[in-house]
């Protein structure tokens, strides 16, 4: 693998007094797809938020592209080229699809029309609905808006929190293939997924979290083949 | 015919309330608190016109522009000095602070301009009569036209400019806005500037329609809040409709009840809304 | 010397009355986190209720029933409590901003009624015929007696508030305050708890109004303007320490001291024809004082110290 893009090193922290993450370690290399799986409440979303400066981090460091970003603010992190699609409420519901995409490019000062065209090419259903408020779209399409919004900055690393949660199987497959396509553009991806089978099938590497701690770490294929992991998280 | 005349007066009062309520709604949408000093900002706006137009005898349009700018700047300064320190506190602390700010502003107004009532121009304006015996005063035409212009300008700002869209984004979901890289401090500054300018406009128009005195803004705060709640607090478009409904209801009510109870009409409408549909009748946001 | 004693008695009586009001607000805001910005409404309703049932004589407005003062106190608490019940029923399930707005609305309406309904309240001319044992307090020893009675009422109110705060009931109120959203999701049960606290707090404010009425022997709408009857009490509670009953009382005494002290200062510094300016300066000062407290010591002089759940 090539250069390390993101390193989470011995991170301990939480939202308030109590720690949620304990000595967490993760890495994402340039252009890699890394998947985090684990039971509900394991701290998967929290791990993502730790990267984005939304946590009180009491120990450890987070580095991106050689810079320590442990205590950076969210907008500084966005400017560095990391985009984050949260698990829920990830679009602006009263803004139109088009405006959502524009907001994704808020930190850019240059002309964004090329990027907009590219996103519409990438997500054809959005082009039709560009003038509708994002809140009126179906779950799958909203997820596309959220991802499209994140791609407006041409990030080098994309954090996706359960992009297929609550979607019908048809949309699920679509989202997974989009993730693959995004990755083929050379964008590194760190993704939390409940559909562990499909996600690990796509992943270069995967992490299994439980109770805020690392449990397993291996290539996607090996994790899929691991019997313990399979029993714990893949429904036997 | 009397009824139509009252509807016209109600529309004029409604325009004033709408401008006030839009300002309240904008600040509520972004900062999540009901700004109790909004009424006294209106009063400041009214007095600045009194100084520039009545005392310095400069043209009214210039006085209005100066007043919007001064009040907007004052609002931004208040934020820098006071409100900004409460960004990470519970928004109700902001509400309490704004209540104190209301009194600070009012006592400053009273210290500078005294307690007495002023008018922009002495003498009685002749009403213009038109179709069916309806009457309207030139000042009231200024109010109606001014309100329409300001609301169009606000609409274009919110729909067409990057900052306007960012304001709507922050109102939708402040955390997501931050994660998206939107500079929320800049959005907040912009919100205060617009809120202050709109408050000034409402105050000026109220002064044009009636008189200028230190409690004018505080006295109208209740109908302004009622209009904002009616429109779904946080939703500036609803606030416009809410202002018109409250204004017209208040004027029509004078047919049946003592005019001094006009604010009670606003209150009654607000109570009904709070009972049946607290998110407002004009597709407001849920809280 | 006599003047000083009279001043002291007057001061303690007024501070004691404000202490009662501040305790009422502490129940609502300090215990439960409910934002009542219309204290004046409950204060005034209590004052007028007591005036109506206790006043004597042939009056140009309601009243003349001539009941004893204690009945007046009870009436004040009941009427303010009932009014609070309805206000609370409408707003307590909503965001706290709505309660704030609705309460300011109530205060406004009450002010209008007091001013306009002469047949009931005497209108702007005020309510006359307020009687009671302690009337004409400036005629002699009665003033001292009344002050003692105010202190006793304040003491009882403090004792009850303290009991309430430390009880399981108080613990529920704090839980509601700490997490408004979760508490709202609890639904009916939480509404009922909030209503209880709101009604209790408002009844105490009503009591404060009644005590005030029999002290001054005359009331008019002016006495209940938002500055004196709402804002000052907020500053008192926040300065003293929200959530702390002792703090509520301490704040009342200190801020009333500041308020009357500044009157003393402005009236001795400014020439007589600038008396009104002096009043504005004092308001300005109190407004700035509130901001300073919120910025530098939001927990107040005596911060809340909640009893540990496992201790009692
Ligand atoms: N904003 C928050 N404040 C406080 N605690 C939180 C917050 N969000 C999550 N938690 C707690 O942190 C722990 C981990 O939650 P997290 O959302 O990271 O889990 P997750 O692995 O993403 O679960 P899921 O699969 O349900 O999304 C949980 O115990 C949760 O209650
Ligand atoms: Mg999660």
CA-to-CA separations, C181 to B201, C95, C304, in angstroms, rounded: 36, 9, 22
Q: Is this complex scored with an ipTM above 0.85? A: yes
CB contact under 8 A, C109 and B264: yes
Q: Where in chain A is the domain with CATH 3.40.50.300?
A: 4-81+156-233
What's chain B's average pLDDT? Answer: 93
Those residues of chain C whose CB sits closer than 8 Å to some CB in chain B are: 33, 35, 37, 90-91, 94-98, 100-102, 104-106, 108-109, 112, 115-116, 226-227, 231, 234-235, 238, 276-277, 280-281, 283-284, 286-288, 290-291, 294-295, 298
Judge B/C contact: 3 or more CB pairs < 8 A.
Answer: yes
Contacts of B186 in chain A (CB under 8 A): none
Compute the distance between CA of residue B16 and CA of residue B209 in angstroms, rounded to an integer.
9
Whether pLDDT at C137 is above 60: no
Please tell me which residue, A236 or A164, carries the higher pLDDT value.
A164
Helix A113-122 with A97-104: angle, nearest 10 deg? 120
Phi/psi for A191 (5° steps) reads -130, 135
Q: How many CB pairs under 8 A join A and B?
A: 57
- How far CA B65 is from CA of B60, B79, B118, B120, in Å, comes to 9, 21, 20, 16
Per-residue model confidence (pLDDT) at position A1: 47
Q: Is A74–B181 a contact, with Cβ atoms under 8 angstroms apart?
A: yes
Residue C255: both structure tokens together = 């801020």
Distance CA B9, CA B248 (A): 7
| Confidence at C139, pLDDT banded by 50, 70, 90 | low
Residue B277: pLDDT band with limits 50, 70, 90: confident
Whether C136 has a pLDDT exceeding 50, the answer reads no
Nearest C-alpha of chain B: how many angstroms from A226? 36
Taking contacts as CB-CB distances below 8 angstroms, the residues of chain A near B169 are 92, 95, 99, 103
Identify the H or E element spanning A160: strand A157-161
User: Cα–chain-centroid distance for residue C176?
Assistant: 23
Check CB contact under 8 Å for B28 and C95: no
Helix or strand or coil: residue B90? coil
A14 forms beta bridges with A56
Question: Lowest mean pLDDT: which of A22-31, C69-78, C139-148?
Answer: C139-148
pLDDT of residue A227: 82
DSSP letter for each residue of A19-41: --EEEEEEEEETT-EEEEE-STT
Chains contacting A (3+ CB pairs below 8 angstroms): B
- What is the best residue among A22, A40, A43, A165 to mutate for testing ligand 1's pocket, by most ligand atoms within 8 Å of CB? A43
Top mutation candidate among A15, A41, A191, A208 for ligand 1, by most atoms within 8 Å of CB: A41
Q: Do β-strands A82-85 and A157-161 pair in parallel, antiparallel, or remain unpaired?
A: parallel
Percentage of residues of chain A with pLDDT beyond 70: 97
Q: How far apart are CA C19 and CA B201, in angstroms?
A: 41
**A108 close to A145: Cβ distance less than 8 angstroms:** no
Ligand having the closest approach to the CA of A41: 1
Say if residue C309's pLDDT is above 80. no
Show the domains of chain B with their CATH numbers: 2-276 (1.10.3470)
Residue of A nearest to B174 (CA): A92
Alpha-carbon distance of C175 to C12, in angstroms, equals 35
Q: Closest approach of chain B CAs to the CA of A95, in angstroms?
A: 7
Average pLDDT over residues C279-298: 95
Kindly report the number of other CB atoms within 10 A of residue C186's CB atom: 15
Is residue B32 less than 8 Å (CB to CB) from chain A?
no
Assess whether chains C and A touch, using the rule of 3 or more C-beta pairs within 8 angstroms.
Answer: no
Question: For the domain A4-81+156-233, what is the CATH code?
Answer: 3.40.50.300
What secondary structure, in 3-state letters, does C193-233 show?
HHHHHHHHHHHHHHHHHHHHHHHHCCECHHHHCHHHHHHHH
Lowest mean pLDDT among A228-232, B97-101, B248-252, C62-66: A228-232
* CB-CB neighbours of A172 under 10 Å: 18
Closest CA to C10 of C264, C235, C230: C264
* C83 to chain B, closest Cα gap in Å: 14
Whether A95 and B173 lie within 8 Å, measured CB to CB: no
Q: Which of A87, A92, A108, A158 would best serve as a mutation to test chain B binding (most B beta carbons within 10 A)?
A: A92
Does C140 score more than 60 pLDDT?
no
CA torsion C191→C195→C196→C202, rounded to 10°? 160
Atom 29 of ligand 1, residue of closest alpha carbon:
A41
pLDDT tens by residue, C160-210 = 999 999 999 999 899 888 876 666 666 668 889 999 999 999 999 999 999
Average pLDDT over residues B263-277: 90
Residue A63 corresponds to which tokens in the numbers above?
């580095």
φ/ψ region of C283 (left if φ > 0, alpha if ψ in -120 to 50, else beta) reads alpha
Ligand 2 ion: residues within 5 Å (CB):
A 45, 87
Determine, for residues B169 and A89 on separate chains, whether the beta-carbon distance falls below 8 Å. Answer: no
Cross-chain CB nearest to B222 (options C105, C116, C290): C105
B8-45, pLDDT tens digit by residue? 999 999 999 999 999 999 999 999 999 999 999 999 99
Using an 8 Å CB-CB cutoff, list chain A residues near B179. Answer: 52, 54, 74, 78, 84, 86
Supply angle C-alpha B86, B87, B91, rounded to 5.
75
Interface probe for B, chosen from A93, A103, A109, A147 (most Cβ of B below 10 Å), is: A103
**Hey, how many other C-beta atoms are within 10 angstroms of the C-beta on A41?**
12
DSSP letter, residue C26: I
């Amino acid at each position: 693998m090539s250069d390390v893009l993101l390193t989470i090193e011995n991170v301990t922290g939480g939202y308030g007094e109590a720690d949620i993450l304990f000595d967490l370690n993760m890495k994402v290399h340039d252009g890699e797809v890394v998947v985090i799986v684990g039971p509900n409440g394991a701290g998967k979303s929290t791990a993502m938020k730790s990267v984005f400066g939304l946590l009180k981090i009491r120990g450890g460091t987070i580095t991106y592209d050689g810079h320590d970003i442990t205590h950076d603010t969210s907008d500084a992190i966005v400017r560095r080229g990391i985009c984050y699609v949260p698990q829920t409420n990830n679009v602006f519901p009263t803004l139109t699809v088009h405006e959502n995409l524009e907001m994704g490019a808020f930190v850019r000062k240059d002309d964004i029309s090329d990027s907009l065209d590219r996103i519409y090419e990438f997500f054809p259903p959005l082009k039709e609905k560009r003038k509708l408020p994002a809140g009126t779209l179906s779950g799958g399409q909203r997820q596309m808006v959220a991802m499209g919004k994140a791609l407006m900055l041409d990030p080098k690393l994309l954090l996706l929190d359960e992009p297929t949660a609550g979607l019908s199987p048809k949309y699920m497959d679509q989202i997974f293939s989009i993730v693959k396509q995004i990755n083929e553009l050379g964008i590194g991806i760190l993704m939390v997924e409940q559909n562990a089978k499909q996600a690990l099938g796509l992943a270069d590497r995967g992490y299994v979290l439980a109770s805020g701690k690392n449990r397993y770490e291996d290539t996607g294929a090996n994790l899929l083949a691991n019997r313990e992991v399979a029993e714990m998280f893949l429904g036997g | 015919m009397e009824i139509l005349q009252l509807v016209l007066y109600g529309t004029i009062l409604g325009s004033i309330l709408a401008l006030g309520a839009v300002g309240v709604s904008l600040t509520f949408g972004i900062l999540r608190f009901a700004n109790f000093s909004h009424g006294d900002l209106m009063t400041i706006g009214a007095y600045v016109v009194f100084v520039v137009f009545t005392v310095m005898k400069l043209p009214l349009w210039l006085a209005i522009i100066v007043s919007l700018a001064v009040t907007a700047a004052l609002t931004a300064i208040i934020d820098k000095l006071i409100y900004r320190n409460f960004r990470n506190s519970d928004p109700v602390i902001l509400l309490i602070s704004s209540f104190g700010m209301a009194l600070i502003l009012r006592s400053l107004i009273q210290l500078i301009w005294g307690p007495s009532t002023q008018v922009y121009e002495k003498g009685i304006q002749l009403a213009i009569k038109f179709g069916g015996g309806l009457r309207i005063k030139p000042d009231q035409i200024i109010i109606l036209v001014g309100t329409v212009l300001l609301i169009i300008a606000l609409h274009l700002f919110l729909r067409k400019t990057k900052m306007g869209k960012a304001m709507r984004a922050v109102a939708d979901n402040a955390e997501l806005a931050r994660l998206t890289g939107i500079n929320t401090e800049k959005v907040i500054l912009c919100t205060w500037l617009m809120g202050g300018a709109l408050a000034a406009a409402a105050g000026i128009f109220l002064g044009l329609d009636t008189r200028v005195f230190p409690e004018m803004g505080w006295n109208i705060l209740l109908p302004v809040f009622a209009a904002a709640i009616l429109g779904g607090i946080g939703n500036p478009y609803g606030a416009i409709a809410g202002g018109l409904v409250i204004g017209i209801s208040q004027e029509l009510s004078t047919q049946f009840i003592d005019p001094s109870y006009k604010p009670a009409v606003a209150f009654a409408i607000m109570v009904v809304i709070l009972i049946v549909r607290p998110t407002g009748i004009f597709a407001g946001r849920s809280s | 010397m006599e003047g000083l004693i009279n001043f002291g008695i007057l001061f303690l009586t007024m501070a004691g009355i404000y202490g009662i009001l501040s305790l009422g607000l502490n129940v609502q805001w300090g215990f439960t986190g409910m934002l009542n910005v219309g204290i004046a409404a409950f204060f005034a309703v209590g004052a007028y209720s007591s005036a109506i049932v206790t006043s004597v004589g042939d009056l140009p407005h309601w009243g003349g029933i001539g009941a004893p003062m204690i009945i007046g106190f009870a009436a004040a608490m009941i009427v303010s409590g009932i009014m609070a019940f309805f206000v609370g029923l409408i707003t307590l399930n909503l965001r706290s901003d709505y309660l704030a707005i609705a309460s300011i609305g109530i205060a406004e309406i009450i002010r209008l009624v007091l001013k306009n309904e002469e047949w009931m309240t005497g209108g702007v001319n005020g309510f006359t015929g307020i009687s009671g044992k302690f009337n004409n307090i400036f005629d002699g020893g009665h003033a001292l007696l009344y002050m003692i009675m105010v202190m006793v009422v304040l003491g009882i109110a403090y004792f009850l508030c303290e009991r309430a705060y430390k009880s399981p009931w108080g613990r529920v109120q704090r839980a509601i305050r700490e997490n408004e959203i979760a508490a709202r999701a609890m639904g009916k049960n939480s509404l009922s708890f909030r209503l209880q606290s709101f009604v209790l707090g408002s009844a105490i404010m009503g009591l404060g109004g009644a005590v005030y009425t029999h002290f001054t022997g005359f009331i008019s709408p002016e006495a209940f303007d938002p500055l004196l009857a709402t804002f000052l009490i907020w500053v008192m509670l926040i300065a003293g320490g929200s959530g702390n009953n002792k703090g509520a009382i301490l704040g009342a005494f200190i801020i009333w001291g500041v308020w009357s002290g500044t009157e003393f200062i402005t009236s001795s510094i400014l020439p007589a024809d600038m008396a009104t300016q002096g009043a504005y300066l004092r308001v300005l000062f109190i407004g700035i004082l509130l901001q300073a407290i919120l910025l530098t010591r939001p927990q107040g002089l005596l911060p809340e110290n909640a009893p540990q759940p496992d201790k009692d």
